[in-house]
Amino acid sequence: MKFGKEFASQMVQEWQEAYMDYSNLKSILKDILRFKQQNKPPLTMATATAMRKGSLKRRATLYRAFSGLTNRYKSVSSMKNHEDEVILVSAVQEGGVEGDYQTMFLRSGEEGGEFEMLFFRRLDDEFNKVLKFYKKKVEEAMVEADELSKQMNALIALRIKVDNPVVGGTDMVNLADKGFSSNSPSVAHSINGGKHGPTYMDAIQEIEMSNDGISKEGMKESADTRFRPAPLHVLDHVKINVELETPIETLRSVIKSSKSDLSFSRLELRTAEEKISQAFIEFHRKLRLLKSYWFLNQLAFSKIMKKYDKVSLRNASKVYLQMVDKSYLGSSDEVTKLLQGVEETYVKHFANGNHKKGLKTLRPHAKKERHRITFLYGFFSGCSIALIVAIIVNIHARNILKSQGREKYMVSVFPLYSLYGYIVLHMLMCAGNIFFWKRYRVNYSFIFGFKQGTELGYREVLLLSSGLSLLALAGVISHLDMEIDPRTKSFRTLTELIPLFLLIVVLSITFCPFNIIYRSSRFFLIRCAFHCVCAPLYKVTLPDFFLADQLTSQVQAIRSLEFYICYYGWGNFRVRSNTCEESEVYKVLYIVVAIIPYWIRFVQCLRRLFEEKDVTHGLNGLKYFSTIAAIATRTIYQHQAEKTTTWLVLAAGTSGIATMASLYWDIVIDWGLLNRNSTNPWLRDKLVVPHKGVYFIAMVLNCVLRLAWMQQVLGIQTVPFLHKTALVAVVASLEIIRRGIWNFFRLENEHLNNVGKYRAFKSVPLPFYYDKNGDKSI
């Protein structure tokens, strides 16, 4: 792989614009090479001899790591004057502080020198850009390191205060309060004479490490490991910061402030440990990204200068790279020291000194692709296709479509199996989204907040979807009985219970507590669903409202669950008889279950409006409220025995308003498109898909698919040979496809917004905060 592709593949995508523009500089070098080839002088004996010498010199440099031959060249070059110098690099002083670097090209008078001047001007711009960004990020890391040091001081003090360890009959809290140290004879006797049990070791470890922590000076572990008193005095200036993460805490916050005094309880200690541990993990990830940024840019400057030497037949890389090495980018080692300090502190405080365990948490390995998954989803997909063919052949051979029991089957059995069709289709769209997110390097795992190594790839999603489709299709082919048994006047009970058994299996796998079938992903989904159900009592995060948006496209699936309860609870499934649509309660619930997903999004928007004070969330809430009104009026109109013009006008009007509002929000707000002043006309400035026509096709499809359900409102039977229930399923499937398209461009826009704000890591709330007086004394 060429360096340019490798460089692009290893970039931190959220910092993409802050990297050196290698491709642009390389294109300038191509212009220089093209100019030299077009103006190449005729080959003479002298030039041929010089080229042979130059080629010999370049060949010799290949062995500089293994041979002493190049010392001769070094000695010769050291004897030369500065007449061979090509560039001079200097730093501009601004108010006594070193500013931008500028390169002076000394051969501008030569033919084609303007191209090389342009190259060095662009090179300086790129280097200064990289240098400023790196300095800014290192300074931010230093500030965060200081804050984590204060947090660790408070945590260690809280640990000792809560646990109150006793060493050799001596109370550590009282000892620390009195200010004794290990140099005291009484303390030394107490330590040496006491029992060396777990309590002793824990106390010594905590108190020894109380002053180590992390600091600006390198976050290195202190060499002085003497017994020192715990900094319990910091607790006098510390309060606990309770994050609004549960419904109970949210309700309590309405009455009183979320910040409260420490009560020195074990629950507070455990919560503080979890938050600080997560903060260390995220801070370590930030430092690793920053180190990768530092390394890749240094390597890029080295590569581009060597390529310049090769193209121009000059020797300018040595001077420029010496400047890079002496600059802050090449000489600073703060990030390395910070990384070392974070790892040592985390291992001591959160891994019980187990170095391997601590580094495994801080440096999670990337998930390996398994051939078994590819084989299984291929096998399940093949079996599913075979079952589809078998169902089609069976229907044709038995002439089932003209059977007398077709109507009863479509009304009672088809809605039971359509539920799995909706789920499988949504999973297939999700697999396609993941595939294209990875292809275009959209950082979906970071945006959703997945723990590294636990996110599902498109192969895993295809495995789950193909497995579910195999089970559902097997149930369908065994449940194609249309005619009732003339002797018993009923259908076989076992056959009629197949959809219910399948639903129980799916729910059992979803809520299975054992570590099988991607437990972390299942629990992540369950947690987000629970947050949606409890909205607005939970703080709204992107996964929560993203899942709620998916539910708005699965209204028919939710209604199918309602039908399951009615059919197997109050209907006579043995004769495929149900009175669901005749029940007024069912009709009301039919409206309510369709409104629930939109109501969740509505209250989520209200929660964000009150927290963030952003009017945009209020407008978004109005959009969902208009959709609620449209669904209610449309459903009432559909269930009318004698459809009236008044309700038709209300249904069409509210649906039209909701559709136009949703279309505008999808394309302009969620996707960020239709920007008139964009560099890409009617799109946006930054795009991840190289083919711009894809965006216009997506916008047209979104409009068409948004309007597909209007045929239900207006009562238009577009496909006469389809049953009404099948037509509803087709329209619901089109909405799921539209949602899959929306998912890709919605997350692409979110990813590009992250790039603009240079957010490559999560902000973790810290448990402690200091008052002003206490902060000065720490």
Q: Which residues contact 573 (CB under 8 A, 6 or more apart)?
A: 412, 496, 497, 567
pLDDT at 47: 53
CB-side neighbour CA atoms (13 Å) of 550: 19
Q: Hey, which residues does 259 pair with through a beta bridge? A: 241
Tell me, what's the pLDDT at 233? 75
* DSSP state letters, 73-124: HHHHHHHS-GGG--EEEEEEEETTEEEEEEEEETTTTSTTHHHHHHHHHHHH
Higher-pLDDT residue of 713, 681: 681
What was the pLDDT predicted at 628? 94
pLDDT of the residue at 45: 53
Q: Are 301 and 278 in contact (CB under 8 A)?
A: no
How far does CA 51 lie from the centroid of its chain? 53
The confidence score (pLDDT) of residue 336 equals 92
How much is the pLDDT for 191? Answer: 40
- Residue 62 pLDDT more than 80? no
Q: Is the pLDDT of residue 467 over 70?
A: yes
- Cα separation, 502 vs 471, whole angstroms: 8
pTM of the model: 0.81
Q: What secondary structure letter does DSSP report for 435?
A: H
Judged against a pLDDT cut of 80, whether residue 30 lies above it is answered with yes
Q: Is 524:546 a contact under the CB 8 Å cutoff?
A: no
- Least confident window among 152-166, 175-189, 240-254, 744-758: 175-189
Convert 500-515 into a string of H (helix), E (strand) and C (coil): HHHHHHHHHHHCCCCC
Q: What's the pLDDT score for residue 524?
A: 94
In angstroms, what CA-CA distances link 407 with 393, 555, 722? 20, 23, 11
pLDDT tens readout for residues 304-314: 999 988 888 88
Per the DSSP assignment, residues forming a β-bridge with 93 are 98
Confidence class of residue 170 from pLDDT cuts 50, 70 and 90?
Answer: low
Nearest to 7 by CA among 20, 26, 17: 20
- Partner residues linked to 260 by β-bridges: 240
pLDDT at 159: 85
374-to-248, 380, 463, 551, 743 alpha-carbon distances in Å: 44, 10, 8, 29, 24
CA distance 405 to 688: 52
Count CB neighbours of 138 within 10 A.
19
Strand 768-770 relative to strand 97-105: parallel, antiparallel, unpaired? unpaired
Strand order in the sheet with 238-241: 259-261, 238-241, 768-770
Q: How many CA atoms lie within 13 A of 649 on its CB side?
A: 3
Residue-wise pLDDT for 175-205, tens only, equals 555 544 444 444 444 444 444 434 433 443 4
CA distance to 242, 272, 518, 534, per residue, from 260 (Å): 8, 14, 38, 25
Instruction: Measure the N-to-C terminal CA separation of the chain; round to a whole number of Å.
Output: 52
pLDDT tens-place string over residues 600-633:
999 999 999 998 888 999 999 999 999 999 999 9
What is the rounded average pLDDT of the residues 740-762?
A: 79
At 528 the pLDDT is 95
**How does the average pLDDT of the chain come out, rounded?**
81
- Residue 491: CB atoms within 10 Å: 22
Decide if pLDDT at 522 tops 50.
yes
The conformation of residue 675, written as its DSSP 8-state character, comes to: B
Buried/exposed 198-217: b ≥16 CB within 10 Å, e otherwise: ebbebbbbbbbbbebbbbee
Confidence of residue 231 (pLDDT cuts 50, 70, 90): low
CA atoms within 13 A on the CB side of 75: 5
What pLDDT shows up at residue 165? 58
Which of 140-154, 638-652, 725-739 is the least confident region? 638-652
Overall average pLDDT of the 379-390 stretch: 96
Report which listed range, 67-81, 233-247, 561-575, is most confident. 561-575
What amino acid is encoded at 351 in this protein?
A: A
Q: What is the dihedral of CA 441, 444, 450, 454, to 10 degrees?
A: -50
User: Is the bond into 185 cis (omega within 30 degrees of 0)?
Assistant: no
**What does the radius of gyration of the chain's CA atoms come to, in whole angstroms?**
34
Q: Is 776 a residue whose pLDDT tops 70?
A: no
Q: Which residue has the higher pLDDT, 485 or 500?
A: 500
Average of per-residue pLDDT across 669-681: 90
In the predicted structure, residue 394 carries a pLDDT above the cut 50? yes
At 771 the three-state DSSP class reads: coil
Structure-model confidence comparison of residues 457 and 259, the more confident one: 457
Identify the pLDDT of residue 577: 84
pLDDT in tens, 704-738: 998 876 665 555 555 667 788 898 899 999 999 99
The span from the CA of 72 to the CA of 54, in Å, is 15
> Counting beta carbons within 10 angstroms of the beta carbon of residue 415, is it exposed (0 to 12), middle (13 to 18) or buried (19 or more)?
buried
Instruction: Identify the bridge partners of residue 683 per DSSP, sorted by sequence position.
Output: 675
**How confident is the model at residue 17, as a pLDDT?**
86
- The confidence score (pLDDT) of residue 220 equals 42
pLDDT score of 32: 87
Query: What is the arithmetic mean of pLDDT over 651-664?
Result: 91
pLDDT attached to residue 225: 38
Give the pLDDT score at 723: 83
Say which residue, 295 or 65, is predicted with more confidence: 295
Which residue has better confidence, 521 or 40?
521
Residues 6+ apart with CB under 8 A from 513: 519
**Where do the domains of the chain lie?**
3-138+285-362, 371-757
710/716 Cα distance (integer angstroms): 8
Looking at residues 223-237, what average pLDDT do you find?
57
Segment 389-412 shows an average pLDDT of: 88
Percent of the chain scoring above 90 in pLDDT: 40
pLDDT recorded at residue 132: 93
Q: Give DSSP secondary structure letters for 613-637.
A: --HHHHHHHHHHHHHHHHHHHHHHH
Which residues make Cβ contacts (< 8 Å) with residue 727, sequence separation at least 6? 717, 718, 719
Angle value at C-alpha 582, between 580 and 584, nearest 5 degrees: 90
The Cα 342–Cα 356 span in angstroms is: 14
Q: Does residue 158 have a pLDDT over 60?
A: yes
337 confidence band (pLDDT: 50, 70, 90): very high
Residue 310 to residue 304: CA distance in whole angstroms: 10
